[in-house]
Structure 1
Amino acid sequence: MDLKQIQYFIALFEDGSATRAAKRLNIVQPALSMQISKLEAELRQTLFERGPHGMAPTDAARLMYRLYTPIMRDIEHAREQLSRQDVIVTGRVSLGMVASEAESVLPESLARFDALFPQVEVSVADGFSAQLIDAVEAGRLDAAIINKPRGRLALDVEPLLIEEMVLVTSAVHGVELPQEIDLANMSRIELVLPTRRNGLRGALDAALMAADIIIKPKFEIDLLSSIVQFVEQGNIATILPRVVVQPKVDEGVLRAHTIKSPPIVRHIIQVTHPKRPIGPAAQALITIITDEIKRVTTGVLRTQAP
């Protein structure tokens, strides 16, 4: 496996068509197909199912995409850094994150960031969105990654992601449910949810209210790792962002069911103080974190529209 093959694979995965991918790479289609076939032979895995409507990625392809996309981004970033050897980024970044994102992608994100900016110190605080907003306003944080609140903010806001929330059950102890769920028919399922102080609960309640659906959880817990462990060990369900549970789903410990009606999403935003714009290191860290969320939930997240 070489870098060219990985580039070809990523282009085909993202475009879904050998014709479009070859055009994007400025090569002929047979050359692309030959490299993908060599890659499949080397990995002993089928990466794409060939069909009349294009190339559909297999589970092995989705895993490979999640693993290699950040590596290729780091290589490109390293090339840029090497071409500007006179520029050395230093200083300190103070970032706030809602716990659901910090627990899910922070370790990998910090490792990538440290490899690119070894001379930058990083401080990360987690908490509820309201707490992090207060910290940015007071100057204790450079920026924060939070759930979009309902009200207007006095801070500068940049949309980052729209993130799917899913119904989660235990793969061992949970009741058998269809892959797509209508929450109006879930009255018999016992739920554990975050409390109403949590922005995740706010996104859920807003969607349910709009659909005129009432759900009363049996348990309310704010520590997401405890919710996940509770669901894993018993016959109870929860509704959480996919990024929180995807590693356990990949391990076969949990099942994630798409909520078809009403669809539930949360909006992830970046907030900064209008009088204190963030520097390139802070922006790079936020970009890496956003990439990591996309990597973990490949094929599920949509980029926020303007």
Structure 2
Amino acid sequence: MDLRQIRYFVAAYETGSLSAAAGRLNCTAPGVSQQMSSLEARLGTRLFERTSRGVDPTAAGNRFYIRCLAVLKAVSEAEIELQDFKIGLSGSISAGFAPGLARSVLPQVLARFTREFPRIDIEIASGTADVLVSETSAGGLDFYVGQFTQEHLGVMATHVGRYPVSLLSGARRGLAPMQPVRLKNLAPLKLSVPSGTNSLRPRIEEAIRSGEIVVERTISIDSLSAGFHFVSQTDWSSILPFWIGLQELGNDRLTINPIEQPALHVDVALIVPTRRPMTRPSQLFYDYFRQELQRMDEEWRRIVSPALSADYGSV
């Protein structure tokens, strides 16, 4: 199967006729017919029913059409990106990211993007989620990526994904590195909890009320950096998104543990102004961010999967 066959099939599907498809593609109807026959033979199934009026897709043809559209879209996007790279895409980007994403994911994205697009200026904003969402709503940012707890006018949210969290503890706590834990079975935690504007905060509080997390003491620190360094110097713990745990696997002052129970997660959203689309540079930068986040998610799952398949005993 090649791209020409896919393009021929999509044209025949959309026009309902091999001759009309040939006209769209500036080729001959017998040529389209031959390519369709070869494609059906390769796939081992009929994609069209030939009629006196033209062609009607089979059930297999309908499903194949959806897949072909995705392939052609991906090829088109790749061609556009390479063309942008060739001519030297220029412009500017102003974006905001949740602190944990900015700390753990963004550096790799910036390194790649600035290398490939040297003529694009980038401004990364920092602050709380609600501040950055408000700034996006006002038009000060092209987009924001992270979690937020309050609705805002003037922005549109698109769900990026749901991701696991991990338990980060000071090495003094004495937990075994990367051993999955059921939090209710641990000795009471001294727990540093996220600020009230973090979407993870209410889930942690509910787990504490229900007994799924047993705590000795809690502390709330608005600054992610301050809270993180506090934990690393004590026997306290914190529940944070996996990307922070993944980045700190080599830190001998911290112990990272996947959380088996309770089922905690973070939802990440892309927030854009409703009144204007993302510019081409901003869309490319966001695409690079998504690729890096997906790569890190796959790496985390690869590391964690063998441990999750083990017998946890009383952990």
TM category, shorter: 0.5 to 0.7
Tell me whether 1:258 sits opposite 2:258 in the alignment: yes
Aligned to 1:49: none
Change (3 A) 1:181 1:212: closer
Shift of 1:99: 0.9
Matched residue SS, 1:199 = coil
* 1:291 counterpart residue number: 291
Distance 2:206 2:150 in 1: 9
Task: Tell me, yes or no, if the aligned pair for 1:78 and 1:116 is still in contact at 8 Å.
Answer: no
**What SS does the corresponding residue of 1:94 show, helix, strand or coil?**
strand
Q: Which residue of 2 aligns with 1:232?
A: 232
Contact 1:148–1:266 (Cα < 8 Å) also in 2: no
Question: Greater RCO between the two (CA within 8 Å, min separation 6)?
Answer: 1
Greater CA drift, 258-267 or 155-164: 155-164
Distance in 2 (CA, whole Å) between partners of 1:211 and 1:281 is 47
Question: Considering only aligned residues, what root-mean-square deviation do their CA atoms show, in Å?
Answer: 3.1
Q: Is the 8 A contact 1:161 1:268 kept in 2?
A: yes
Q: CA deviation at 1:190?
A: 1.0
The answer on whether the counterparts of 2:133 and 2:152 sit within 8 Å (CA) in structure 1 is: no
Residue type matched to 1:113 in 2?
A: F
Deviations 1:70-119 (A, max 9, x none): xxxxxxx9986555677542221110111111111222211211122211
Whole-angstrom CA distance in 2 between matches of 1:196 and 1:108: 29
**Which is greater in Rg?**
2
Which runs of no fewer than 5 residues in structure 2 stay unpaired?
A: 1-76, 303-315
Matched residue SS, 2:168: strand
Distance change >3 Å, CA 163–CA 206, structure 1 → 2: farther
Q: Any conservation in 2 of the 1:129–1:199 contact (CA below 8 Å)?
A: no
**TM-score normalised to the size of structure 1?**
0.63
Match of 1:127 in 2: 127
Quick one: distance in 2 between partners of 1:184 and 1:206?
Answer: 13
CA contact (8 A) 1:162 1:301 kept: no
2:162 equivalent to 1:162: yes
Percent identical pairs in the alignment equals 24
Deviation at 1:207, TM superposition (A): 5.7
Shift of 1:184: 2.7
Q: Which runs of 5+ in 1 are unaligned?
A: 1-76
DSSP 3-state at the match of 2:144: strand
- 2: CA distance between counterparts of 1:301 and 1:152? 33
Classify 1:295/1:136 alpha carbon distance in 2 versus 1 (closer, same or farther; 3 Å): same
Alignment correspondent of 2:117: 117
SS in 1 for 2:235: coil
Q: Would the aligned equivalents of 2:98 and 2:147 in 1 still touch at CA under 8 Å?
A: yes
Whether the aligned pair in 2 keeps the contact of 1:147 and 1:199 (CA below 8 Å) is yes
State the partner residue of 2:272.
272
What SS class does the counterpart of residue 218 from structure 1 fall into?
strand
| Structure 1 residues 142-168: Cα deviation after superposition (integer angstroms, max 9, x where no partner) | 110021536586522222222211111
Query: Residue 172 of structure 2 aligns to a residue in which SS?
Result: coil
Q: Which residue is equivalent to 1:149?
A: 149
Tell me, what secondary structure is at the counterpart of 2:109? helix
Cα distance, 1:176–1:85 mapped onto 2, change above 3 Å:
closer
1:167–1:105 CA distance, 2 compared to 1 (3 A): same
Q: Is the 8 A contact 1:164 1:301 kept in 2?
A: no
**Residue matched to 1:204:** 204
Q: Deviations over 1:40-89 (max 9, x none)?
A: xxxxxxxxxxxxxxxxxxxxxxxxxxxxxxxxxxxxx9986555677542
Give the deviation of 1:122 after TM superposition: 0.9
SS of 2:124's partner is strand
Secondary structure, in 3 states, of the residue corresponding to 1:190?
strand
One-letter amino acid of the counterpart of residue 105, structure 1 = V
Specify the alignment match of 2:172 in structure 1. Answer: 173
Q: For residue 9 of structure 2, what is the aligned residue in structure 1?
A: none
Quick check: 230-239 or 177-186, which moved more? 177-186
Q: Which residue of 1 aligns with 2:29?
A: none
Check 1:92–1:209 CA distance in 2 against 1; reply closer, same or farther (3 A cut).
farther
SS at match of 1:184: helix
**Residue identity opposite 2:107 in structure 1:** P
Residue pair 1:148, 1:267 contacting (<8 A) in 2 also: no
Q: What aligned pairs does 1:97-116 form with structure 2 within 5 A after superposition?
A: 97-116=97-116
Within 1, Cα distance between the matches of 2:282 and 2:243? 22
Aligned equivalent of 1:73: none
Shift of 1:253: 4.0
Number of paired residues? 225
Is 2:136 aligned against 1:136?
yes
